[in-house]
Amino acid sequence: MTALTLGAAINAGLAKALENDDRVLLMGEDIGKLGGVFRVTDGLQQRFGAQRVVDTPLAEAGIVGTAVGLALRGYRPVVEIQFDGFVYPAFDQIVCQVAKLHYRSNGRIRMPLVIRIPWAGGVGAAEHHSESPEAYFVHTAGLRVVAASNPQDAHVMLQQAVASDDPVIFFEPKRLYHSKGEVDLDAALADAPPMHLARVAREGTDATIVTYGAQVRTALDAALAAEDEGISLEVIDLRSLSPIDMNTVAASVRKTGRVVVTHEAAREAGVGAELVASITEQCFSYLETPPQRVTGHDIPYPPSKLEKHHVPDLDRILFAVDRVLEREEEVLR
Amino acid sequence: MTYTQTQDSLTGGVPDQGEVLRVLEPDGSRVPDATLDPWVSDLSPHELRALHRDMVLTRRLDAEGVALQRQGQLALWAPCRGQEAVQVGTAHALAPGDFVFPSYREHGVLLGRGAQPADYVLAWRGEEHSAYDHTTINAAPPQIIIGAQSLHATGWAMGAQRDGSTDVAVAYYGDGATSQGDVNEAMVFASSFRAPVVFVCSNNQWAISEPVTVQAKYPIAGRAPGFGIPSLRIDGNDALACVAAMRWALDRARRGEGPSFIEAVTYRMGPHTTSDDPTRYREPAEVEAWAQRDPVERLEAYLRAEGILDDGGLEEVARAADALAAEVRAACIGATTRAPETMFDHVYAEPHGGLERQKAEYVEYLAGFEGEGSR
């Protein structure tokens, strides 16, 4: 095991993918000499050459659209969208082309494309640099959507995404890029849990928190704080947003009978809405109280001085935990 | 040597004789052109007859598509009448390993790539999104999103370049597409990476009801040099000019000189699709003027004058066209709609739990109707 930042863990995963398959290539703005604005691709162009790690023109539709053509020619492109809010210019290519070509061609065309998106807020960034667009992609059939929450998962899931014959939207929580964790660089990919499975990040008995990405850390912090009050919270890290591993979610909810869903993205028609709907369909008779959502507000991402009021923090999560535990009045008194 | 059109002349609808490169006049007489001539000087009578034959076949196929739509057999059809020369001419210049990225109107290109009768109609009938096997005819599924395929062609070409092959990608689109960001981004990428791709813009004067003058205040072929891409502006109703321009572009690509752009000035004689009513937005006189420049009649006149084609040859071609139309009709009417549960197939290459659950639910729902006759 090696202690690596999440960014370095992805870098190591990309290096392995480039090493193992010469049809893999990286494309994006500033990913070569600079090593990416977050340095996630640091040193890769030096090591693998400008033909494998390609600095592209500043055109998101161009990056994704040419990657489609490269995939048609038999390549496995991994493209970087520099920031979450910059994915929209490529939206048509992603939802109309990348997502649908396998279906349109009756399975004859494969789109083994990975679209890496440094994602979400909490880093004091400028406008358009802190967005959570995951629901758009989850809503689009044909795409797989995953979100890493720690260096080990990021390292492994990136390689799984590259190996997948389906297009994968790979969300990287940028506020965790510099956070460290133990990574097993030598573990065989075949032994790792598949990326579509959720992970029980912490076991508990009183209520379940379902979340993903950087919110996993916040949820774990909340669980630790709740422990001081004698409350045992289970935390589920979804890892995959499409498909959602409802088996793991439902098993937890059936055990605890109470559930809080939290994410940074806006609430309306978000992943949380899907989760609560599915939980209600599948676990209704097990639920002791109505599920609660703790999310970003239904507003454009606010100026960074206000973002701490937008991104759900430990207190907002615990407030919702109190509600599902029916401790709300007690707390307010 | 590229385009010479002025801004004013773009507003006239029908371009001047001198504004585009051609080697065949509308009456079929052969005129010299220093740029194009070298690329068609070696065309044999056999090749010329094949070119004519495929243009006639394309026109017949197109007429059959319109008829099948009018008879309720197809939901929609996008007629290509008037554009046979650019479609067939450019496709004839291709090598088997080249790969085309067509729009929805490129019936003549697909014919040139070897599409089978069912390949033309199943998508328009609503049975498939794309019926043909892209690997068999080296053609991507027909693109509906305007201009999106230009990027795919460029990416494919970048791959061909990496592979060290001489394969070339071709993106086909109309004049309207040149307003799209994708088409412009494709030119940036193609130029920057020197990708072996040819952009073929069939300027058919109309993007549904928008005349090209709404899209372009400067000749479309004139834009490409700004990206560092050489271009030719040719008479798209002159099949020989289309072959020549395409050979020029393919040769550049195969020699590692990167992308080329061809603006083929032509005319969409029919509606945008069978749902469209062009009488609402264009003048009969304009259509009539373009009818005088018919690409099929033009090549026919030339071949007759050269003694390459006679009445017997024409009858033979007409019979082949009828046979193709009959096969297309049979493929259309004989189509069977797939079982409903197959609509869940091929969304993903690998199993997707959420979708599998949904499919299972629907299959179970349908099973509840078994024995009740047709649903």
Cα–Cα distance between A99 and B302 in angstroms, integer?
48
Q: How far is A201 from chain B (nearest CA, A)?
A: 21
Among A65, A164, A196, select the one facing B155 at the smallest CB separation: A65
Nearest to A169 by CA among A236, A93, A281: A93
Q: What integer pLDDT is reported at residue B374 of this predicted model?
A: 56
Q: What integer pLDDT is reported at residue A328 of this predicted model?
A: 65
Whether A246 and chain B come into contact, CB under 8 Å, resolves to yes
Q: In DSSP terms, which residues pair with B169 in a beta bridge? A: B99, B197
| pLDDT-wise least confident of A269-278, B2-11, B150-159, B270-279 | B2-11
Nearest to B202 by CA among B262, B253, B259, B150: B262
User: Which distant-in-sequence residues (6+ apart) come within 8 Å of B186 by Cβ?
Assistant: A62, A65, A66, B147, B150, B151, B153, B154, B171, B197, B199
Q: What integer pLDDT is reported at residue B16 of this predicted model?
A: 47
User: Which distant-in-sequence residues (6+ apart) come within 8 Å of A322 by Cβ?
Assistant: A328, A330, A331
**Share above pLDDT 70 across residues of chain B, in percent, rounded to a whole number:** 94
Cα–Cα distance between A252 and A64 in angstroms, integer?
38
Q: What integer pLDDT is reported at residue A331 of this predicted model?
A: 57
> What pLDDT, in 10s, does the model give residues B231-270?
999 999 999 999 999 999 999 999 999 999 999 999 999 9
Q: How far is A197 from chain B (nearest CA, A)?
A: 10
pLDDT reading at B10 higher than 60: no
**Is B276 in contact with B236 (CB distance < 8 Å)?**
no
Whether A92 and chain B come into contact, CB under 8 Å, resolves to yes
Q: What integer pLDDT is reported at residue B17 of this predicted model?
A: 44
Report the residue of A18, A21, A68, A162 to disrupt the B interface, i.e. the one with the largest count of B CBs within 10 Å: A68
Query: How far, rounded to the nearest angstrom, does the alpha carbon of residue A93 sit from its chain's CA centroid?
Result: 20
Segment B154-176 shows an average pLDDT of: 98
Q: How confident is the model at residue A329 (pLDDT cuts 50, 70, 90)?
A: low
Query: How far, rounded to the nearest angstrom, does the alpha carbon of residue A160 sit from its chain's CA centroid?
Result: 14
pLDDT reading at B161 higher than 50: yes
Q: What integer pLDDT is reported at residue B371 of this predicted model?
A: 80
Helices marked H in A35-122: 44-48, 60-72, 91-92, 101-104
Helix (H) or strand (E) holding B100: strand B99-101
pLDDT reading at B189 higher than 60: yes
Q: What integer pLDDT is reported at residue B370 of this predicted model?
A: 84
ipTM of model: 0.94
> What pLDDT, in 10s, does the model give residues A148-183?
999 999 999 999 999 999 999 999 999 999 999 999
Q: Which amino acid is at B342?
A: T
> What pLDDT, in 10s, does the model give residues A254-268?
999 999 999 999 999
**Is B95 in contact with B253 (CB distance < 8 Å)?**
no
User: Which string of DSSP letters, residue by residue, matches B196-225?
Assistant: -EEEEEEE-SEETTEEHHHH-SS-GGGTGG
Q: Tokens 């396998």 — which residue?
A: A102
Average pLDDT value for chain A: 97
| B22 catalytic per annotation | no
Whether A290 and chain B come into contact, CB under 8 Å, resolves to no
Q: How far is A253 from chain B (nearest CA, A)?
A: 18
Q: What is the DSSP code (8-state) at residue A96? A: I
**Intra-chain end-to-end CA distance of chain B, in Å:** 63
Nearest Cα residue in chain A from B169: A69
Helix (H) or strand (E) holding A296: strand A292-296
**Is B249 in contact with B213 (CB distance < 8 Å)?**
no
Residues of B in contact with A244 (CB under 8 A): 353-354
Q: Is the dihedral angle over the CA atoms B222, B162, A104, B128 positive or is it negative?
A: positive
| B362 catalytic per annotation | no
**CB spacing of A72 vs B163 below 8 angstroms:** no
**CB spacing of B159 vs A69 below 8 angstroms:** yes
pLDDT reading at B5 higher than 90: no
Q: How confident is the model at residue A327 (pLDDT cuts 50, 70, 90)?
A: confident
Whether B87 and chain A come into contact, CB under 8 Å, resolves to no
User: Which distant-in-sequence residues (6+ apart) come within 8 Å of A29 by Cβ?
Assistant: A55, A56, A57, A58, A63, A80, A82
Q: What integer pLDDT is reported at residue B6 of this predicted model?
A: 44
**CB spacing of B352 vs A164 below 8 angstroms:** no
User: How many CB pairs (< 8 A) connect A and B?
Assistant: 146
Residues of A in contact with B156 (CB under 8 A): 69-70, 72-73
| B268 catalytic per annotation | yes
Helix (H) or strand (E) holding A333: none
- Asked if the bond preceding A243 is cis, omega within 30° of 0, the reply is yes
Whether B41 and chain A come into contact, CB under 8 Å, resolves to no
Q: What integer pLDDT is reported at residue B269 of this predicted model?
A: 97
Residues of A in contact with B158 (CB under 8 A): 66, 69-70, 73
Q: How confident is the model at residue B14 (pLDDT cuts 50, 70, 90)?
A: very low
**CB spacing of B158 vs A66 below 8 angstroms:** yes
A residues 214-243 near B, CB within 8 Å? 242-243
**Intra-chain end-to-end CA distance of chain A, in Å:** 48
Check A102, A128, A129, A309 and give the catalytic one.
Answer: A129
CB atoms within 10 A of CB B285: 10
Among A89, A93, A165, select the one facing B350 at the smallest CB separation: A165
- Phi, psi values for residue A101, rounded to 5°: -65, -35
> What pLDDT, in 10s, does the model give residues B335-348?
999 999 999 999 99
Residues of B in contact with A165 (CB under 8 A): 349-350
Distance of CA B26 to CAs B16, B295, B299, B366, Å? 12, 8, 9, 60
Residue ranges of E strands in A124-226: 144-147, 168-173, 180-183, 199-202, 207-211
pLDDT reading at B9 higher than 70: no
Three-point CA angle A120, A209, A117, nearest 5°? 20
Check B70, B218, B281, B338 and give the catalytic one.
Answer: B281
Distance of CA B339 to CAs B127, B336, B363, B375, Å? 11, 9, 11, 12
Dihedral angle over CA of B20, B23, B28, B31, nearest 10? 110
Cα–Cα distance between A25 and A34 in angstroms, integer?
17
Pairing of strands A292-296, A259-266: parallel
